[in-house]
Chain A
Amino acid sequence: MVGLVLPRLVSFEGAPRRSASVAERNLTALRSAYWLVLLSGFLEPVLYLFSIGVGVGALVGDLTLPGGQVVSYAAFVAPAMLASSAMNGALSETTFNFFGKMKFMKLYDGVIATPVQPFEIALGELAWAMIRGSLYSAAFLLIMVVMDLTTAVRAVAAFPAAMLVGVAFGALGMVVSTLIRSWQDFDLMGSAQFTLFLFSGTFVPAEAYPAVLRWVVELTPLYRSVHLIRAICVERSGWSWLLDVAYLVVLAAGMLALASRRMGRLLYK
Chain B
Amino acid sequence: MVDVSVAERARPGMARVPALAVLAHYLVGYRRTWRAGVFSSFLLPVLTVLGFGVGVGAYVHRGVEGVPYLEWLVPGLIASTALQVAMAESTWPVHSNFKWIRTYHAQVAAPLRIGDILAGHLAFVLFRVLTSAATFVLVTALFGALRSPWAVAVLPVAVLLALAVAAPTFAISAAVPSDSYLALLFRFAVIPMTLFAGVFFPVASLPEALRWLAYATPLWHGVDLCRAATLGVAPQWSIAGHLLYLAAWAAAGWLLARRVFQRSLVV
Which residues of the other chain, B, contact A209 by a CB distance below 8 angstroms?
Answer: 55
Tell me what chain A mostly uses at the interface: helix, strand, loop, or mixed: helix
Q: A37-B184, A204-B59 are in contact. Are A198 and B47 (CB under 8 A)?
A: yes
- Least distance between B62 CB and chain A CB atoms (Å): 8
Are A188 and B36 within 8 A (Cβ)? Answer: yes
Distance to closest chain B CB from A99 (angstroms): 15
Q: Which of A37, A63, A190, A198 contacts B183 (CB 8 A)?
A: A37
Residue A243 at the chain B interface, CB threshold 8 Å: no
Which of B44, B55, B56, B187 is in CB contact (< 8 Å) with A40?
A: B187
Residues in A36-84 with C-beta less than 8 Å from chain B: 36-37, 40-41, 43-44, 47-48, 50-52, 55-56, 58-61, 63, 73
A187 touches B201 (CB 8 A): no
B37 close to A203 (CB less than 8 A): no
Tell me, yes or no, whether A33 is within 8 Å of chain B by CB. yes
Which residue of the partner chain B has the closest CB to A57?
A: B201
Identify the closest chain A residue to B180 (Cβ).
Answer: A33
Is B178 in contact with chain A by the CB < 8 A criterion? yes
Distance A56 CA – B69 CA, assembled complex (angstroms) = 10
Interface residues of A in 195-224 (CB under 8 A from B): 195, 198-199, 203-204, 208-209
- The reply to whether A191 and B191 form a contact with Cβ atoms under 8 Å apart is no
Find out whether the CB atom of B55 lies under 8 angstroms from the CB atom of A187: no
Known contacts A33-B178, A33-B180, A33-B184, A204 near B55 by CB under 8 Å: yes
Across the interface, name the chain B residue whose C-beta is closest to A58. B205
8 Å CB interface, B24-46 against A: 33, 36-37, 39-40, 43-44
**Contact in complex: B40, A51 (CB < 8 Å):** no
Chain A neighbourhood of B177, CB < 8 A = 33
Contact status B52-A184, CB under 8 Å: no
Q: Is the CB of A191 within 8 A of B52?
A: no
Tell me if B244 counts as interface (CB < 8 A to partner A).
no
Q: How far is the CA of A195 from the CA of B48 in the complex (A)?
A: 8
> Which residues of chain B are within 8 angstroms of A40 by Cβ–Cβ distance?
184, 187-188
A236 near B: Cβ within 8 Å? no
Chain B: CB-nearest residue to A55: B201
A residues less than 8 Å from B184 (CB atoms): 33, 36-37, 40
Q: Interface readout for B167-206 with A: 1 if CB under 8 Å, 0 if not?
A: 0000000000110110110011001100110001100011
Expressed in whole angstroms, the Cα–Cα distance for A209 and B50 within the complex equals: 11
Q: Is B60 close to A, CB under 8 A?
A: yes
When A198-B51, A203-B52 are in contact, do A47 and B180 touch as well, CB less than 8 Å? Answer: no
How far is it, in angstroms, between the C-alpha of A188 and the C-alpha of B43 when the chains are bound? 11
| A191 B195 Cβ-Cβ under 8 A | no
CA distance A86 to B206 in the complex (A): 28
Q: Which of A40, A52, A56, A199 has the most CB of B within 10 A?
A: A56
Shortest beta-carbon distance from B220 to chain A in Å = 14
CB distance from A198 to the nearest CB of B (A): 4
Taken together as a complex, chains A and B put the C-alpha atoms of A33 and B37 apart, in Å, by 28
Interface string of A175-194 (1 = CB under 8 A from B): 00000000011011011001
Q: A44 contacts B187, CB within 8 Å?
A: yes
Q: Does B58 contact A (CB under 8 A)?
A: yes
Do A52 and B39 touch across chains, with their CB atoms under 8 A apart? Answer: no
Shortest CB–CB separation between residue A92 and chain B, in angstroms? 10
> Would you call A34 an interface residue if the criterion is a C-beta within 8 Å of the partner chain's C-beta atoms?
yes
Q: Given A51-B200, A191-B39, A191-B43, does the pair A203, B205 have CB atoms closer than 8 Å?
A: no
Which A residues are CB-close (under 8 A) to B58?
Answer: 204, 208
Question: Is B139 close to A, CB under 8 A?
Answer: no
**Are B47 and A204 neighbours in the complex by a CB distance under 8 Å?**
no
> Is A31 close to B, CB under 8 A?
yes
Find out whether the CB atom of B188 lies under 8 angstroms from the CB atom of A37.
no
What are 10 A-B interface contacts by the 8 Å CB criterion? Answer: A37-B180, A40-B188, A44-B187, A47-B195, A52-B195, A55-B205, A59-B62, A191-B44, A204-B55, A208-B58
Known: A37-B184, A61-B59. 5 other contacts (CB 8 A): A34-B178, A47-B192, A47-B195, A184-B33, A199-B51
Q: Measuring CB to CB, which residues of chain A are less than 8 angstroms from any residue of chain B?
A: 31, 33-34, 36-37, 40-41, 43-44, 47-48, 50-52, 55-56, 58-61, 63, 73, 184-185, 187-188, 190-191, 194-195, 198-199, 203-204, 208-209
